[in-house]
Amino acid sequence: MDVFLTAAARSLHRSVLDEAAPSARWLCLGDDGTLRDESSGEELDIRTATPEVAWMTTDLVDGGPMRPFFGLVTRSSSLRWLQSSAAGFDAPVFGELVRRGVRLTASHIAGPPIADFVLRAALDHLQDADAWRAAAARHEWDPHELVEMGSTRWLVIGLGTIGREVAVRARAFGAHVTGVRRSPVGDEPVDAMARPDEVPGLLPESHVVVLATPANAGTVHLVDEDFLRHMRADAVLVNVGRGALVDEGALLPALDEGQLARAVLDVTETEPLPADDPLWDHPKVVVTPHSSALGDGRRRRAAEAFVENVRRYVGGEPLLHEVTVDDIDA
């Protein structure tokens, strides 16, 4: 079994990979785009390499050899399985692969840092930390009351790995958490579950609204004029899903009219957000550069998830988090 991955990922996770697939041949892509068979040390022609498995690690998108990696992946007729280290699969390349018969698995490893991010964003809003920062810049001692988490109600839209991690944390503060999911499993760590069609009725009592759901045909512009009209004037909207979930053209007027108090957007409709976008300077908007998943534990968890699936692949067992054509079209 030939496994295609970056030299950086191979080097970082050598021992766990060897344990999971002792007889694999590792085709390692260097930062300079050269491909090597690790066992022989021989340089391979990337145009004729025939990997069976490919592992797409996050170093590829963090300045790694992304272009040669996807070149081989999209060209290869030998490829049987690609594991991504991301949860989302809305980039067109994934749809093409799945339709071509390549198995695709996603990784749901970003829950902890994204949930940490959401909690910081909510606490920052509830405590109006902006006012403390502004007063400190003026050297002014100006106390104000803060809203306790324990008195808030949360609406978490999407109860996958991320939504669950958010719910566990928020409830430890005493918040009341309602989770929204099309098909509840029954073990969600929340106070209540609701269906997507119940969201408008729940918004008027929700102080914190979290978007942690994938973008697909059914969720694009989920947050539109109508959604925003149902929100509380003191509510904060936190989007850690995809930029497409929010109609930014509807969001800014809603903030201006006081239909909600604040929006924290770690994802935007256009990324990177253009320098002249009005979101940057809006006093009720906080933009962060799609960073909530960039936790320092993500590489370790990505390796654990790949190792588990390699074990399953070698043993002929079902793979975890396999993405189907139906998921792509959902």
Q: Which residues are catalytic?
A: 242, 271, 290
2 pairs with which residues across the strands? 25
Non-local CB neighbours of 95 within 8 Å, separated by 6+ positions: 89, 328
280 lies in the binding site for a second copy (CB under 8 A): yes
The answer to whether 36 and 30 have CB atoms below 8 angstroms apart is: yes
Minimum distance between the CB of residue 116 and a second copy, rounded to whole angstroms? 5
Q: Report which of 113, 56, 99, 28 is spatially closest to residue 309, judged by C-alpha positions.
A: 56
Q: Which two tokens stand for residue 36?
A: 């090597």
Q: Which of 13, 103, 164, 169 binds a second copy (CB under 8 A)?
A: 169
The stretch among 124-132, 221-229, 230-238, 312-320 that binds a second copy (CB under 8 A) is 124-132
Q: Which of 108, 221, 232, 290 binds a second copy (CB under 8 A)?
A: 290
139 lies in the binding site for a second copy (CB under 8 A): yes
47 lies in the binding site for a second copy (CB under 8 A): no
Identity of residue 120: R
Q: For residue 312, with 0-12 CB atoms within 10 Å meaning exposed, 13-18 middle and 19 or more buried, which class applies?
A: middle
294 lies in the binding site for a second copy (CB under 8 A): yes
Long-range contacts of 217-226 (CB under 8 A, 24+ apart): 217/329, 217/330, 218/330, 219/244, 219/245, 220/244, 220/245, 221/245, 221/246, 221/247, 221/250, 222/157, 222/246, 223/247, 223/250, 223/251, 224/250, 225/250, 225/254, 226/200
Q: Which of 33, 201, 249, 289 binds a second copy (CB under 8 A)?
A: 289
88 lies in the binding site for a second copy (CB under 8 A): no
* Number of chain positions touching a second copy (CB under 8 A): 53
Query: How far apart (Å, rounded) are the C-alpha atoms in residues 246 and 268?
Result: 8
DSSP helix/strand/coil, 327? helix
297 lies in the binding site for a second copy (CB under 8 A): yes
Q: Which of 127, 202, 230, 312 binds a second copy (CB under 8 A)?
A: 127
The stretch among 39-47, 77-85, 169-177, 309-317 that binds a second copy (CB under 8 A) is 169-177
Q: How many CB atoms lie within 10 A of CB 49?
A: 17
Q: Which of 177, 190, 286, 305 binds a second copy (CB under 8 A)?
A: 286
146 lies in the binding site for a second copy (CB under 8 A): yes
134 lies in the binding site for a second copy (CB under 8 A): no
Identity of residue 273: L
**Contact pattern for a second copy over residues 201 through 240, marking x by CB under 8 A:** ----------------------------------------
In the complex, the residues that contact a second copy under the rule CB under 8 A are: 112-113, 115-117, 119-120, 123-124, 126-127, 129, 132, 135-136, 139-151, 168-169, 171-174, 271-273, 275-277, 280-281, 286-292, 294-297
